[in-house]
Amino acid sequence: MTKPGKTDARSGGETAPERFLDRHLGNVVHLFLSFLAIMILVAAAIATVVIIIRDVPLLWRAPSEYEALHYVIQNVLLVAIAAELALLFLFHRTSAAVEVLIFVIARKMVVSGISGWDLLTGVAALAGLVAIRFYFIQGKDQKTEAS
CA-closest candidate to residue 44, choices 76, 70, 16: 76
CB contact at 8 A, 88 and 100: yes
C-alpha span between 25 and 30 (Å, rounded): 9
* C-alpha dist (Å) from residue 55 to 32, 39, 43, 78, 109: 33, 23, 16, 14, 20
Per-residue pLDDT tens over the stretch 119-129: 999 999 999 99
Query: Which one-letter amino acid corresponds to residue 146?
Result: A
Which residues, including other chains, have CB under 8 Å from residue 138's CB and lie 6 or more apart? 146
- Burial degree of 88 (CB within 10 A; 0-12, 13-18, 19+): buried
pLDDT band at 7 (very low <50, low <70, confident <90, very high): low
Q: Which whole number is the average pLDDT over 20-38?
A: 87
Per-residue pLDDT tens over the stretch 88-101: 998 888 888 898 99
- Whether the per-residue pLDDT at 142 is higher than 60: the answer is no
Task: Check residue 144 and give its pLDDT.
Answer: 47
- Whether the per-residue pLDDT at 8 is higher than 60: the answer is no
